[in-house]
Amino acid sequence: MTAVNRRIVLASRPTGAASEANFRLESAPVPVPAAGQVLVRHHYLSLDPYMRGRMSDRKSYAAPQPIGEVMIGGTAGEVIASEHPGFQVGDRVVSMGGWQEYSIADGNAGALAPRKVDVRRIALSAYLGVVGMPGVTAWYGLNRICEPKAGETVCVSAATGAVGSVVGQLAKAHGCRVVGIAGGKEKCDYAVNELGLDACIDYKAAPDPRALVGLLAAATPAGIDGYFENVGGIVLDAVLARMNAFGRIAVCGMISGYDGEPLPLAYPALILTSRLKVQGFIVSEHPKVWPEALGELGAAVASGKLKYRESIASGIASAPAAFIGLLKGQNFGKQVVKLL
């Protein structure tokens, strides 16, 4: 085993758009597990939009990422040394190991302990996406907030991303008409032809907000009953103009404003006049639903009913550039970094 653990730390906080200069690649000794701990060799790192918010030192639902420490993030890997009776060398596990090649995980940490996963029918990387936090995020926001009913119209932004692609497929399984919003013809074609959505709006094809509303109106002739929000900005404004009375909006993320730009609503009065339910949520605050959600998602992936796509960067040093690309919408599906 190598004696070096390569890792990415936060070197500085962004002012405006995040850049690769905000990160630093370091080397450190491979840690040794103490009693109750395991040493995990990471095979994959998860890159997710929420990490941009943690890079800034401002009020949020979680503490900021400390300067000089390993970037937070989900990991999937293999136990290579164990001082815990519940884990054996060779176990595949998912944990919050961060942007590094090795990590120590506490087997007695309750909900924060590493979770053993079965890779016989589901790929290890999928436990960071469709059968992991992004998948549960989609499941919770759709089922508990959007509450889709057969025959209704559901809209989802970032429709081919790690979360949005699951939302769309689950909504179709509920018998809904599903309209996605994505950036570019290739992504929209994938949403319709591979994921099975009824329509997909390429927001990049709209020269102005009014045109975007027009494209959305053509795709949602009966209006929108449920909306899963990942983007914010002019996309949210366009959807609000199409929401039916008593519609439900699950606010998962607003990636268009993650670099600090304000995202004012053009017509906030629509929330009142259409009597909309608008609810933000953080999926980690709902641990009771995880077993049910993961069970359903895992079964659907194993049977081939739930499809997913990944963008894979190679090597720990590629993580910063891949993360910046994710924030710019350059990924196609779930963004991961492959280490082995």
Q: Where are the domains of the chain?
A: 4-129+308-338, 133-284
Pinpoint the alpha helices (H) of the chain: 50-55, 133-140, 164-173, 185-193, 209-219, 234-240, 269-273, 290-303, 319-327
What beta strand segments (E) does the chain contain? 4-10, 23-29, 37-46, 75-82, 92-95, 102-106, 115-116, 153-157, 177-182, 199-202, 224-229, 243-251, 277-280, 310-314, 334-338
Pinpoint the alpha helices (H) of 40-152: 50-55, 133-140
Rounded Cα distance between 301 and 134, Å, is 14
Strands 75-82 and 4-10: unpaired
Contact indicator for 222, 153 with CB cutoff of 8 Å: yes
Q: Please state the length of the chain.
A: 340
What letter does residue 65 receive in the DSSP assignment? P
136: tokens are: 């549960």
271 burial via Cβ count (<10 Å: 0-12, 13-18, 19+)? middle
Domain over 133-284 is classified CATH 3.40.50.720: yes
**Along the chain (340 residues), what's the average pLDDT of each consecutive run of 10 residues?**
86 94 97 97 97 88 92 97 97 98 95 94 98 98 98 98 98 98 97 98 94 97 98 95 98 84 89 98 95 98 97 98 94 95
Contact indicator for 124, 76 with CB cutoff of 8 Å: yes
pLDDT tens for 185-243 read: 999 999 999 999 999 999 999 999 999 999 999 999 999 999 999 999 999 999 999 99
3-state secondary structure of 138: helix
Strands 199-202 and 115-116: unpaired
3-state secondary structure of 308: coil
Contact indicator for 159, 187 with CB cutoff of 8 Å: yes
CATH topology of domain 4-129+308-338: Quinone Oxidoreductase; Chain A, domain 1 (3.90.180)
What pLDDT shows up at residue 2?
Answer: 53
The residue written with tokens 């961060």 in the block is 98
What pLDDT shows up at residue 58?
Answer: 81
Which residues, in sequence order, are bridge partners of residue 311?
Answer: 335
308: tokens are: 């997913």
Rounded Cα distance between 320 and 57, Å, is 19
3-state secondary structure of 58: coil
pLDDT tens for 145-200 read: 999 999 999 999 999 999 999 999 999 999 999 999 999 999 999 999 999 999 99
What pLDDT shows up at residue 45?
Answer: 98
pTM, full prediction: 0.95
What pLDDT shows up at residue 258?
Answer: 76
